[in-house]
Structure 1
Amino acid sequence: MDRVERGVVRHGVRLMVRDYGGSGSPVVMLHGLAGHSGEWDTTAGWLRERHRVLAFDQRAHGASERRPADVSRAAYVADVVTIIDELELGEAVLIGQSLGGHTAMLAAAARPDLVQALVLVEAGPGNPDADLPNAIRSWLASWPVPFGSQDAAIEFFGGGPVGSGWAAALEERQDGWWPRFEPELMVRSVVELSRRSFWPEWRQVSCPTLVVLAESGFFSADAAREIARDRPNTTMVTVPGAGHDVHLERPEAVRAAVAEFLQGLGGNRSGRGVGRNVRSRSGIQSETHTCEKLGQ
Structure 2
Amino acid sequence: MKQLPKMTWGKPTEQPAIYFAHANAYPPGSYLPIIEALAQKRQVVSYLQRPLWSPTPAPSELKSWHQLSDDVITFFEQNNMKNVVAVGHSLGSVTAFMAAQKRPDLIKALVMIEPVTLPWFFCWLTRAFPSMVKKRVAIIQKALGRPDRFASKQEAFDFHRKPRAFKRISDENLWHYVNAGMVADGDQFRLAFPREWEAKIYGTATYFRGQLLHSKLPVLAMRGAHSNTIDEKFWRKWQRNPNHRFIDFPDAGHLLPFEEPAAVIKQLMPFVEQQL
TM over 0.5: yes
Structure with bigger helix share is 2
Match of 1:48 in 2: 39
Evaluate the alpha carbon distance shift between residue 122 and residue 211 of structure 1 in structure 2; reply closer, same or farther with a 3 A threshold.
same
Give 1:154 deviation, angstroms: 1.6
Deviations 1:24-71 (A, max 9, x none): 43211111111212123322212122222111221113x554125633
TM-score (norm 2): 0.80
Partners in 2 of 1:234 and 1:227 — Cα distance? 9
Percentage identity across paired residues of the two chains = 23
CA positional deviation for 1:143 = 2.0
**CA shift for structure 1 position 74:** 2.3
Report deviation, 1:211: 0.6
Question: Who is 1:140 aligned against?
Answer: 143
| 1:160 Cα offset (Å) | 1.7
Residue matched to 2:189 = 177
Higher relative contact order (CA 8 A, sep 6+): 2
Which residue number in structure 1 is paired with residue 69 of structure 2?
77
Higher strand proportion: 1
Would you say 1:235 and 2:226 are equivalent positions? no
Q: Report the counterpart of residue 66 of structure 1 in structure 2.
A: 56
Segments of structure 1 that go 5 or more residues without pairing to the other structure are: 1-10, 267-296
Q: How does 1:242-253 map to 2 (within 5 A)?
A: 242-253=252-263
SS of the equivalent of 1:35 reads coil
Which residue does the alignment assign to 2:233? Answer: 222
Structure 1 residues 26 and 20, CA gap change in structure 2 (3 angstroms): same
What is aligned with 1:290? Answer: none
AA at the equivalent of 2:153: Q
Show the counterpart of 1:107: 99
Give the superposition deviation at 1:213.
1.2
On the 8 A contact 1:93/1:118 being kept in 2, the answer is: yes
Unmatched tracts of structure 2, length 5 or more? 126-131, 162-169
Deviation (angstroms), 1:241:
2.2
Match of 1:283 in 2: none
Q: 2:9 is matched by which residue type in structure 1?
A: Y
Amino acid at match of 2:203: V
Instruction: Give secondary structure in 2 for the equivalent of 1:94.
Output: strand
Q: Is the 8 A contact 1:117 1:208 kept in 2?
A: yes
Q: Secondary structure at the match of 1:126?
A: coil
Structure 1-normalised TM-score?
A: 0.75
Q: Would the aligned equivalents of 1:214 and 1:246 in 2 still touch at CA under 8 Å? A: yes
2:27 matched to 1:36?
yes
Instruction: Give a deviation string over 1:110-143, Cα, whole Å, max 9, x none.
Output: 1111111011111143214248643333122342
Q: Which amino acid aligns with 1:98?
A: S
Contact 1:242 1:250 in 2 (8 A): yes
Tell me what 2:110 maps to: 118
In 2, the alpha carbon distance for the partners of 1:156 and 1:223 equals: 34
Counterpart Cα distance in 2 of 1:48 and 1:35: 19
